[in-house]
A and B are shown apart, each in its own frame.
Chain A
């Protein structure tokens, strides 16, 4: 080992000692908290998925029917997704469409009042402009049955009123009567279930709020738009000119991601410059 390699190696060892995991976590926390109150307003390009999502909602005509499917419970709705759910639901309301809220999460019934409080749903008439369906377990089978015969499958709304007695459901029987499905899910395997049972079978347009990797294979064919989690949420909020929290989150994400990439590059440079070739180790201890 040359003297230069020794110097690099010794610097690397010191660097490792100074920058422990705990200290790195503190730095990330400090940077994140600073950016939450003092955003840098970095430029943001609107991606094609977000633009498609936005365009499909913009193309809705008054009186058309939208199924809004979500696994959101009260904690999700008050948590990190609060602003984006508000933004999307308010966008739908602006277009004067009828909204059928289709739950896929067990904690749904606790969130219905929050939906009314936090969005412009409070300005609409329940049963005429929108309806909350109750949660039914069974995942794909339940969604397939709902799509085939909405009133036969559910019978009542979340409050126990008969679905067929609600004006909004007068001309809606199956998913074939729906113009757009806005689907939000968190479990990765759900994407293909929705694709299978809704757009494939009924030809209905489906846009999502989910991780792009879980629906990439069907994008363009069955899925026509998507908000790719925080990135998509921030882009959508920018498109809608809403100063919401996801734009701040993107600032933090950009800075912290750059920092991580920088550290990886730095580590790689030190590794190669030090000339030390360590034996490959695995976390499995073998």
Chain B
């Protein structure tokens, strides 16, 4: 590591500590500096990357003879008419994107999220075998019970679903709710608890461990 890289690393640590200072000292000038530095830096990187993307995906290719790409390029720029009195023109790229998006998504969504799911779940029930590694019959039964009860919870027809929400079959929707609560609990603990710990660890690996190691390497000492 060169001396300037080492200095850059320490500058990064200083800015990071300024960001972390919010926890102990509140919203100070130091925290505001770190916050704005981060937002400004990201904005600059993404602006530059998007200009590069526009260049490689459209401008270079148009220059090399793919003139049809002018149409989507113009359609893209029409989005900016929202800032002018010709704001109606911005509807066209939105309409095109929505139409193309729906066309490309709907059929495959039906296949991947509905038909495949139904056949897989039914197959597991018939074979009494859950997906690997849960290949026991109980997993298959739990899965089908979960699918049916959660679906029942989302039946909103006043005529047909009242028995499952208010009548004698209301335990079915209640079981479905329990399945959803367990799933939500798992998701919450996974995302907000463990990921938060991971982020904390990440900071200290990057700031403390790697810094100590780099300084040791720079000074010719064996790294910890």
Contact = CB atoms under 8 A, between A and B. Distances in A.
A19 interface: no
B116 interface: yes
Contacts of A32: 200-201, 204
Interface string A208-230: 00011100011111100000011
Contacts, number: 141
Nearest to A200: B112
Interface string B194-224: 1101101110111011001000000000001
16 contacts: A25-B23, A32-B201, A33-B208, A37-B212, A136-B56, A136-B57, A155-B61, A160-B60, A196-B109, A197-B108, A200-B111, A221-B131, A222-B116, A253-B194, A256-B200, A257-B194
Per DSSP, chain B at the interface is helix
B52 interface: yes
Per DSSP, chain A at the interface is helix
B205 A245 contact: yes
B28 interface: no
Contacts of A160: 56, 60
Interface stretch (B80-88, B97-105, B152-160, B171-179): B97-105
Nearest to A213: B187
B117 interface: yes
Given A106-B53, A134-B57, A33 B187 contact: no
Contacts of A257: 193-194, 197
Interface of A: 21-22, 25, 28-29, 32-33, 36-37, 48, 73, 79-80, 106-110, 134-137, 140-141, 144, 155-156, 158, 160, 192, 195-197, 200-201, 211-213, 217-222, 229-231, 245, 248-249, 252-253, 256-257, 260
